[in-house]
Amino acid sequence: MSDSYIWGIIAVMGLGTYLTRFLFIGLIGDRPLPAWVLRHLRYTAVAILPGLVAPLLVWPAATGGTPDPVRLVAGAAALGVAYWRGSMVQGVLAGASLFALGQILT
C-alpha cells in the first residue's frame, strides 16, 4: 500500500461521509425525501455488511480459503445471539467464547 493510496482513501471517504451527513441538515433543509428513496436508504447497511462478511466467514484467508467449522459455528452464534438479544456486545461475546473454545479443542 502506498502512502498516496492510503491518504487518498482517507480524504475522499472523510469528505464523502461528511457530505452524506451534511446534505439535509446543512444544505437541503427540511424538504422531505421521496418515499422510494427513503425505502432504499433504510437497507444500505444490511445490504452491504452481510455481503462483505460472508466470504470472510466461508473462505477465511487464515485457513487458505477452506471453510473452517469452528469459524462457521462461532459466526452463526454471534449473529444468532446478537439478533435474539438485540445486543452487539452479547453477540461478540458469544461468538468469541465459542471460537476460543474451538481453538482449544481442535
Partner 1 sequence: MVSSPFREGMAKGFPFVVILVPFGALFGVLATEAGLTLTQVMAFTSLVIAGASQFTAIQLMVDDVPAAIVILSALAVNLRMVMYSASLAPHLGPAPAWQRVIIAYLLVDQTYALSQSAYDDNPAWSLRDKVAFFAGTALPVFPAWVGSTLIGALLGAQVPESWSLDFALPLAFLALVGPMLRTRAHVVAALVSVTAALALAWVPWNLGLIFAALLAMAAGAEMERRA
Distance CA 12, CA 32 (A): 27
- Taking CB under 8 A as the rule, which mask of x and - marks residues 69-98 in contact with partner 1? --x--xx--xxxxxxx-xxxxxxx--xx--
Q: Does 36 bind partner 1 (CB under 8 A)?
A: yes
Q: What is the DSSP letter of 28?
A: I
Nearer to partner 1, 61 or 105 (CB): 61
Residue 66 Cβ vs partner 1, minimum distance, rounded to whole Å? 14
Strands in 30-71 per DSSP E: none
Q: Which is nearer to partner 1, 44 or 66 (CB)?
A: 44
Q: How far apart are CA 79 and CA 71, in angstroms?
A: 12
Decide whether 69 or 86 has the Cβ nearer to partner 1: 86
The reply on whether position 67 binds partner 1 by CB under 8 A is no
Decide whether 9 or 105 has the Cβ nearer to partner 1.
Answer: 9
Count of other CB atoms within 10 angstroms of residue 76: 14
Grid coordinates representing 95 are 461468538
